[in-house]
Amino acid sequence: DGGITQSPKYLFRKEGQNVTLSCEQNLNHDAMYWYRQDPGQGLRLIYYSQIVNDFQKGDIAEGYSVSREKKESFPLTVTSAQKNPTAFYLCASSIDPTALGSKNIQYFGAGTRLSVL
Amino acid sequence: GESVGLHLPTLSVQEGDNSIINCAYSNSASDYFIWYKQESGKGPQFIIDIRSNMDKRQGQRVTVLLNKTVKHLSLQIAATQPGDSAVYFCAENGAGGTSYGKLTFGQGTILTVHP
């Protein structure tokens, strides 16, 4: 059963705490992405990674960190520096981000909903 | 319709009607466009894509139209069903040509289908 798995589905963060959201894919995709979605809003790019051991900041990277030590895994840490972390977080992957056309299609996980206690 | 950067518009239709969801994009260099469907509490799901060298592409019950002259994209859903109720996003490969695959997403359109 191939796909993108995000865990946990729901996560609660205490003030001053760092939390890590998991994203695993078994699609053998090169690229992985993290997005934040606020209620009634579109998707905003946090970080993305083209290949293992490389990642780039997206549009709203402040207060977040990532790692890409394995091709199939791209965890996102929401740090205490992120003052408004309550949102729906989506992970995605694509086959080959340098190719044209359909290899740019991003496939999404089911999301993690993060709330602040 | 939606436009990258504007807030969420809504579209209400009756079951069986055809739906048209619009999207305006700003980057004339964009060469690839995708429509996604997002149901409540779930991740976006790929519907259909189109390259900039095409102006129309058809799938099962869906058609995407691309007008590069006015930088406009639309998604047509034939015989809309209650299961089509969701938020629909357009996305563009904003860098054009060779790129890192970064997609720029529109804000989305809420489609509600009434039985």
pLDDT tens string, chain B, 115 residues long: the values are 444 444 678 999 999 999 999 999 888 888 889 999 999 999 999 999 999 999 999 999 999 999 999 999 999 999 999 999 999 999 988 654 445 567 888 889 999 999 9
Distance CA B61, CA B41 (A): 24
* pLDDT of the residue at B7: 60
pLDDT in tens, A2-58: 699 999 999 999 988 999 999 999 999 999 999 999 987 889 999 999 999 999 999
pLDDT of residue B103: 86
Contacts of A108 in chain B (CB under 8 A): 36, 43-45
Burial B30-68 (b: 16+ CB within 10 A, else e): bbbbbbbbbeeeebbeebbbbebeeeeeeeeebbbbbee
Contact at CB, B103 and A104, closer than 8 angstroms = yes
Closest approach of B24 to chain A, Cα-based (Å): 14
pLDDT of the residue at B4? 47
pLDDT of the residue at B97: 44
* Residues of chain A contacting residue B89, judged by C-beta atoms under 8 Å apart: 42-43
Q: Which residue of B has its CA nearest to A5?
A: B43
How does pLDDT run across B15-38, given as a tens digit for each residue?
999 999 999 988 888 888 999 999
Closest Cα of chain B to A52: distance in Å?
A: 14
Q: What is the pLDDT of residue A7?
A: 97
Q: In A, residues 55-84, which contact B (CB 8 Å cutoff)?
A: 56, 58
Average pLDDT, chain B: 88
Task: Select the residue of A104, A109, A111 nearest B101 (Cβ to Cβ).
Answer: A104
Neighbours of A43 (CB within 10 A): 28
Q: CA of B110: which chain A residue's CA is closest?
A: A40
Q: Does A109 touch chain B (CB under 8 A)?
A: yes
Span A67-116, pLDDT tens digits:
999 999 999 999 999 989 999 999 999 998 777 678 889 999 999 999 98
For chain B, the straight-line distance linking the first and the last C-alpha, in angstroms and rounded, comes to 22
